[in-house]
Every structure is written in C-alpha cells, then in structure tokens.
Amino acid sequence: MLSLNDKITARQLQILALLDIFGANIIYLPREASKFAGQNGWAALGLASCAAIVYVWLATTLGRKFPNESFTSYCGKITTTYAAKILTILFALKIIINVSSRIRLFAEILKSALLVNTPINVIFFGILAVAAFGAAKGYETRARVGEILFPLIFAPLAFIFIFAAFEMDYSNLLPVLRSTEGLASGGFFLSEAFVGVEFALLVHPYLTKPKRAKKALITVTAVTGALMIAVTVVTTAKFGAYGVKREMWPVLEMMNSINLPASFIERQDALVASFWIISVFANVNACLFFSATLMKDAVKKGKAGMYVIGAAALAFIAAGAAANIDKVYEIKSFVFKTFDIAFLFFIPAALLIIAKTRKLGEKS
C-alpha cells in the first residue's frame, strides 16, 4: 500500500476507471442501444467502444507528453494562459453538468425502486454529501476506496448474470446484422456511455508511473465495453428489442425476473440497485474531485475543500433544475453533442497536434 502521497498505481487507475464508466450508465444502456439498432444494439455498443478507445488514446497520448503537469499547466504551454483558463473552467462546468444529470437519474431510479416516499432533494443531498467528503480526502483515498468497492460490486453482479445467461431466449437477437441501419449513428451517440474517459486528461500527475496510463486505460475501456455488450445481449435476449425499448430501467426489470437457486434473494432488482448506488457514488466522487481540482487550478486561490463544496452545490442546483426525466435526457444529449465531444475528441486532438508541431513536451 502506498503512503499518503496522493499517488496511485496503474492497477488502481483501472479500477477507478471501470467504476467511473460502467456503473453510471448500465441500468438504462440496453434501452438506448435498442432505440438505435434494435436487436443489434450490442453491435452499436461495439462501435461505441471503439470510439471510446480513440478518445482514450488521444487523451493519454497528450497527457504522456506532460506527465507531471496539470491540464491547466500544459494547456497554457501549448496555447496561452488565458485560453488555458477558459478551457479549464469550461471543462469543470461540463463535468458538473454531467454529474448533475447522473445524480438526477440516480435519484429517480432510487426513489422508484427503494425510497418511494423520500423527497428527491434529500437523495441529491445524501449522495453529494458522501461523495464530496470522499473527494476532499484526495485522489489516493479514492483509489483505496475503489479497491474495497470493486469486489463488492462486481462479484455479486457476475454471480447473478451467470444464472441470467441460462434463462434467456437468444432467438430475440435474430436476425443478426441483417440490416446495418442505425449502427453508425448508434455507435456515435452510445459513446456517451463512456463519458468519464476524458478524466485521462487529468490523471497523469497522480500516477506513480505515468507512462503506464495509456495501456492501462485502453485495456480497461475495452473490458468495460465488453461488459456493456454482455449486459445488453442478455437484457435484449430477455425482453426482445421492442420490449427493451418500453422499459425505463430494463436491467433492473431483467434482474428481478431471474429465478435464483433456492430463492435465497427475494428481489434481485433491489440487490443490483444497491450495487449500482455504490458505483454511482464512485462516479460522483470522481466528478466532484476533478471539477474542484480544475476550478482551483484556474483560480489559483483558496483550499481544495472550498472548491469541492462549490462543485457539490452547483451540482445540487443543476440536478433539480430539469422539470422531468425526459428533460434530463434532452440536456444529456445536447451536452454530449457539444461539450462532451469537444473534450473527448476535438480539444485533445487540437492540443496534441499543436504540441507536436511546436515540439513541446516529452517525446512519446
């Protein structure tokens, strides 16, 4: 175990990345995949995984050129100090908007599944308070907590999915790829599920061996994509493409329909929701940590804890701003097509080209 130096290993980075990406979207992802490509939604997710690997490659290639510098610092060297501050603030705001939409979706699911009579603002406050406390403790603390949470989340899920795989009707996946309609657009829009990989732009200063970040993150992105495809295949096999589209939270419904041996668990959906709560906590914690770090780097005043509280307050306000769940999806879609794509692809690509042209940073 490392000392309290706010440095983590490549393995810990992989665990955090898997928690940040996988848990936040998996509950409703099969429905989104079926909307684009029907029973071939798994193939669209495969294309989305390839797009996510490209995003990670760009971010890690750029970060590897400036392994010991913050995003604001190396942006200032590549462009100007003023431009770097604008990019940093926009990056922080984008992360806060993303986390607010995830908190809102989380609260809606939790309220309908477990806490029917609990005011939604109380749920907002609960998750943000716990996540903010963790974020204020630093990045190494996140890694240590992630190592504890990882087996608690994935071991029970793997156990349940093994039984689920034997109960499904895989004829619902036929015909396979007879039509490619919707695959390309689905691959693009479903890469929204991998929002969080842009944290690769920020993690290098926190690694004991920054040069291992590229291989570690590309590997975990591919593994996460494979897990998402597996969950989508099983869920579509259970309900069919049309049935998945009708379900608001298809994975929870699928889990609740599984007959486990001896019926020792009465409600699998509540069990899965509990594990999902842990993974959402990890994702919200990451968003608050990085958005606070970015704001502190831009302002260069005050303590980190102040910025964590500020980020949590902004996320709380934004989470309650949308009138309903449909509005949340509209906001998510708009942010993805603008700010997310900019920070996942266009901005890293532009910074990398400029850095290489000006021969800045270390050779990779």
Domain architecture of the chain: domains with CATH: 10-350 (1.20.1740.10)
Banded model confidence at residue 1, pLDDT cuts 50, 70, 90: very low
Q: Stretch 1-16: mean pLDDT, rounded? A: 74
- Which amino acid type is present at position 267? R
Residue 3, pLDDT > 60, answer no
Query: For residue 194, what are the contacts with CB-CB under 8 A and spacing of at least 6?
Result: 21, 48, 49, 51, 52, 55, 221, 224, 225
- Is 232 within 8 Å of 45 (Cβ atoms)? yes
Banded model confidence at residue 35, pLDDT cuts 50, 70, 90: confident
DSSP-derived 3-state class of residue 79: coil
Banded model confidence at residue 315, pLDDT cuts 50, 70, 90: very high
Banded model confidence at residue 364, pLDDT cuts 50, 70, 90: low
Q: pLDDT for 82-138, tens place per residue?
A: 999 999 999 999 999 999 988 888 888 778 767 778 888 898 898 899 889 888 888
Q: pLDDT for 132-180, tens place per residue?
A: 988 888 888 878 888 887 777 777 777 777 777 777 777 878 888 777 7
- Which amino acid type is present at position 201? L
Mean of per-residue pLDDT scores for the chain: 84
Q: Stretch 208-237: mean pLDDT, rounded? A: 90
Q: Stretch 199-215: mean pLDDT, rounded? A: 90
pLDDT at 2: 39
DSSP-derived 3-state class of residue 194: helix
Rounded to two decimals, what is the model's pTM?
Answer: 0.88
